[in-house]
Amino acid sequence: MAPRILLIEDDDCRRIRLLECLLHRGCRVTACGSISEAAEILRNVSIRSMAPDTIVMSAHLLSEGGASVYASIAERFPGTKLILMSCDHGIDWLVARLESPDGFGNCTTV
């Protein structure tokens, strides 16, 4: 079965390119341009078969509510993975965000 991906990227060009790439590889993708749009979609997810397997999100959206969106879906559907991407920040910035009180505490950085 094709993986279900929730793509959250506020840059239109990046979102379209990533969407096309994921679709080309056979993924089922729901693409959102904001955290509020993603939160609305996730509010309507009621069963595991509808939940994303993976959330792919722009890292800077963590501070705009992305952490709580991921925490909400991960609590309801354990095993949902999170991939954070950043074109603007280095790995040190990302690790610091993940380890902050509003980050994710127990994370693996690859």
Report which of 33, 34, 26, 78 is spatially closest to residue 52, judged by C-alpha positions.
78
Length of the chain: 110
8-59 tens-digit pLDDT: 999 999 999 999 999 999 999 999 999 899 988 888 887 777 888 998 988 7
- The predicted pLDDT at position 104 comes to 56
Domains of the chain with bracketed CATH = 4-99 (3.40.50.2300)
What share of the chain in percent tops pLDDT 70? 80
